[in-house]
Structure 1
Amino acid sequence: MKHHKILIYQIFTRLFGNRSYNCVENGTLAENGCGKMSFFDDSVLRRIKKLGVTHVWYTGVIRHASKTDYSAFGIPCQHPAIVKGRAGSPYAIVDYYDIDPDLADDVDRRMEEFEALLQRSHKAGLKVIIDFVPNHVARQYKSVKKPDGVKDFGETDDVNKGFYPDNNFYYCPNESFAPYFDLKGEADDSYSEYPAKATGNDHFDNHPGINDWYETVKLNYGIDYCDAGGRSYHFAPVPDTWHKMRDILSFWAAKGVDGFRCDMAEMVPSEFWYWCIGKIKTDYPDIVFIGEVYNPSLYRSYLGSGFDYLYDKVGMYDCLCRVIRGESAASDITYQWQAVDDIKEHMLYFLENHDELRLASDFLSGNAYKALPAVVVSALLYNNPFMLYAGQEFGERGMDKEGFSGLDGRTTIFDYWTVASLYNGYVNRRKLTSDEKCLEKAYSAILNIAKNEKAVSEGMFFDLMYVNPKSDIFDSHRQYAFLRKADNEVLLVVVNFSDSDVTCGVNIPRHAFDYMQMAEKSVNATDLLTGNTVMLPLKADSAVELNIPAYGARIYKFLV
């Protein structure tokens, strides 16, 4: 069976299809507008597919806390003091069974609009991932769309106990919610909560600070975090929260969702994931679970619990950012894949997402082209998944001061806004600059190589850096080289992180010829990025001379 490489396009749904271009700082929905699910028509989805991706991750589709009033549609209002930004964080869920009304043309038919989006995406040949936020909910969680017979979170809790195995929340009995800052709402009195619930980032008293996830409440999976100064685990009988979460995942899987990106998965016990993912995959064997896990010491535990893929953030992502900035040697990339060699097919590579700096921001590289060698490495190094964030392919800089988000080199997840590069890329392409078009073309070429070349999706891998130390003919600080091979097709990939064109010599050791069963001979090699063909003399332990453009790559394909 052919193995398909997973290439994910993360779409911040609220921002992506916004046809308004007002961009008022702290603007309301009426002022700044909002992207809709209907924006993703057949032509938009075809363009996304043509970029070379296999999956779309529609971020922020489940209903979350917002300052926009939808009470006329039977949707409870949220107290503005516990909503970050006007649009609110998509990670402060208020109803796991509902679709965010901001994204709908007809609010009353928002679930039908989502189901239609799912069908259109599948028809375009794209699989769909959505967020699953298991660790915390919005402070005023209240489901208005839960199926018959489903009890709400906290509905049956004993609020007089700080911890109880079958409670959904943790409480501070006999204490009011009293954060270390003023929680007054707009033209409203202060928010009150009694007894106070524990805050989402494992803050178990009643007074979180401004930098805590104060707008969220921690969910209880049967761990007593404050048991005589230690922790105790109460997983049998199975806690109520486990059952509720399994039912939520089954609800979305039954609609045809192809995968879940699980927010802050490591803050939820691996025992729950083992129990839950096993049950979901029994009914939906092809569904994919992606975990946001940052602690490398936990990787194998969470993979053992059923996750298909985990973020490679503190390893490969952080390393590539340092290499882009010239702070680390390109040869350090080798160490990163070696550190997870036994599980590397399960590591999700990325260079941008909604949490991280935009590559082209002034806080990272200031130039989207500087990151292209890292894109080639991330997409082609191995057969594991690669993810990009919508706008990355146009060099989105994230240098807007949108409101709650502020000028931080990131694209806001809290505000109503229009992302300039996406507006130009998908609403008014005439406004795209030649640089943006060129970058989009480069991304599309790299992604389609990753998708279509068998050597990438299921081939062997050989790192060439150990025989190419820093020398007169090769700069291991700024160049990186490796081989991929499937059947009789070989790719020689060499990238250049430097700001000038280079001519370098890449040694291919005898071990590579033996391991990959290659004959020593001259081959006609085609650069998959340019279509140009050259003759490469392949001889064990001798250098192949290559010219590589600044911030560029050569991806030579040849037959052996």
Structure 2
Amino acid sequence: MPDWPSHVLWWHLYPLGFVGAPIRDGVDPDAEPVHRLERIEPWLDHVIELGLNGLLLGPIFASETHGYDTVDHFRVDPRLGDDSDLDRLLAASRERGIRVLLDGVFNHVGRGHPAFQAVLAGGDATLFRGTRVDGRFEPEVFEGHGALVALDHSSDATADLVVDVMCHWLARGIDGWRLDAAYAVPPEFWAQVLPRVRERFPEAWFLGEVIHGDGPAMVHASTMDSLTQYELWQGIWHGIADGNFFELSHAIERHDELLATFVPQTFVGNHDVTRIASAVGPDLVPHALAVLFTVGGTPSVYAGDEFGWTAVKEEREGGDDAVRPEFPATPADVTDVDERILDAHRALVALRRRHPWLWRARTDVVEVTNATLVLRTAVDAEAVIVALNIGDSPASLPAADARTVVAGEAMLHDSRAELPPRGWAVLEA
């Protein structure tokens, strides 16, 4: 794996929503480009101001609705603009030292994809899984979504297509790929594709979206560099929201086991889940962030979470819209900011920057109750301690050899961290 991912903290955004593009009504994948992608550039300095240095983009290729129903992997979605718009965004990112990851949807395509339309007209079905019934091709679809036609990952033609797409955009200047629905693709397919891409682009990084399953086995079999860490995300927000830090403690122990094989991509928010401020309540968001930025992993911040924005994902058509909103023209135009949450992001990102060794460090659970938790993450003589209290009474917790409070609101006294009700702190040894 290249070295650079160990130093990158990502800002994750969903481009179609961010720029206010239409998602369902009146979408024409062949329309003339509308140059909306340029609306991201004024936000790049905000990324740097937060202390982040990576831009993890949701889907940007021509599609029929939400971006995950691709109809042309080689063309920027006309709702966002064209190749020149992407080139400018990549150049502006490089000028600031910001790495860029694109979202590759390689498990399925939209029904309007020209290759699938050719199959319906009686053409070759090499790229797709399905059967012919009375001369009519019946495709397999992704998780019951009829608009998402499954690719055939046993086909050499599919492997060639994915290699070509990846190399095309890596040559244009991106740094790697988020592999959408990687859990639905046989790992043997990735093991066939990724080494071919690495031959040409050895510095490329590959992050697989995996919601469940045996992560280490998948990494070994697929050669992917990293996987999304949904188990830790769930442990963080459930542990806080349900008042059960034992669940979070268990998730951290499981997380440590993964670090022996690979470094997961960690998060408390993304484009597919309820925002963390809605999940745990605004006053407990810093508690979630303290865990995110002090345990091993490659952290990302979902755009808007740093402002304390709230939104609930719903299981219905359009149920993602609330967590994928349009952003104002510039950061200065944001009016709904929870300053306490923004300050916590800045402080904890800065802490992570000061301690790059946290990327693959192991975490010990020093003490846990339903409402309190002490974590110690260390390498050799360096240690970072997190003390959390979600209870309504003050808490006195072991400081685990900490000497200094560097974030939050604890007082150190007789080797104890004294926290106020619903208080949090990060300390250094």
Q: Is the 8 A contact 2:411 2:417 kept in 1?
A: no
Point out where structure 1 has 5 or more consecutive residues left out of the alignment.
66-87, 105-109, 143-151, 177-193, 202-211, 223-237, 413-417, 470-475, 509-519, 538-543
Structure 2 match to 1:355: 272
Instruction: State the partner residue of 2:352.
Output: 450
The alignment's TM-score, normalised by the length of structure 2, stands at: 0.86
Whether the 8 Å CA contact 1:4–1:451 is kept in 2: the answer is no
Q: Work out whether residues 93 and 141 of structure 1, in 8 Å CA contact, stay in contact via their aligned partners in 2.
A: yes
Amino acid at match of 1:432: D
How high is the sequence identity, in percent, across the aligned residues?
Answer: 19
- Is the partner of 1:95 in helix, strand or coil? strand
Distance 1:122 1:175, change over 3 A: farther
Contact 1:274 1:305 (C-alpha < 8 Å) held by counterparts: yes
Pairs within 5 Å for 1:103-502: 103-104=80-81, 110-142=82-114, 152=115, 167-174=126-133, 194-201=136-143, 212-222=144-154, 239-297=156-214, 299-313=216-230, 315-326=231-242, 329-344=244-259, 345-361=262-278, 364-365=279-280, 367-382=281-296, 384-398=297-311, 404-406=317-319, 410-412=322-324, 418-419=325-326, 422-423=327-328, 426=331, 428-429=333-334, 431-433=335-337, 436-457=338-359, 460-465=361-366, 468=367, 476-486=369-379, 488-498=381-391, 500=392, 502=394
Give the C-alpha shift of residue 501 in structure 1.
5.5
2:395 to 458, 483, 503: 503
Cα distance in 1 for residues equivalent to 2:133 and 2:49: 58
- Over 3 Å counting, the alpha-carbon distance change for 1:482 and 1:174 in structure 2 is closer
Residue 404 of structure 2 aligns with which residue? 526
Q: Would you say the 8 A contact 1:64–1:90 is kept in 2?
A: yes
Residue equivalent to 1:556:
427
| SS of corresponding position for 2:214 | helix
Residues in 2 aligned to 1:502 and 1:3: alpha-carbon distance in whole angstroms: 39
Cα displacement string for residues 294-329 of structure 1 (whole angstroms, at most 9, x for unaligned residues)? 23235422344211111121x2122222112125x2
Give 1:135 deviation, angstroms. Answer: 0.8
**Cα offset for 1:213?**
1.0
1:185 aligned partner? none
Q: Secondary structure at the match of 1:272?
A: helix
Map of 1:13 onto structure 2: 15
Kindly tell me the number of residue pairs found equivalent between the two proteins: 419
Using the alignment, how far apart are the partners of 2:18 and 2:61 within structure 1? 16
Structure 2 counterpart of 1:89, which letter? H
Asked if 2 retains the 8 angstrom alpha-carbon contact of 1:10 and 1:353, the reply is yes
Map 1:23-34 → 2, pairs under 5 A: none
Q: Which has the higher helix share?
A: 2
Q: What code does the residue aligned with 2:371 have?
A: R
Q: One-letter code of the match for 2:347?
A: A
Tell me the amino acid that sits aligned with residue 218 of structure 1. Answer: A
Q: Distance in 1 between matches of 2:313 and 2:149?
A: 30
Distance 1:158 1:432, change over 3 A: closer
Offset at 1:174?
A: 3.9
1:57-89, CA deviations, whole angstroms, 9 ceiling, x for partnerless residues? 111211111xxxxxxxxxxxxxxxxxxxxxx11
2:410–2:424 Cα contact (<8 Å) kept? no
Q: How far is the alpha carbon of 1:371 from its aligned partner?
A: 2.7
Change (3 A) 1:101 1:501: farther
2:405/2:412 contact within 8 Å kept: no
Letter in 2 for 1:297: D
Structure-2 change in CA distance of 1:483 and 1:54 (3 Å): same
Matched residue type, 1:385: T
RMSD over aligned Cα atoms: 3.4
Match of 1:296, SS state, is coil
Gaps of at least 5 residues in structure 2 are 28-33
Q: TM-score, normalised by structure 1?
A: 0.67
- Give the Å deviation of 1:2: 9.2
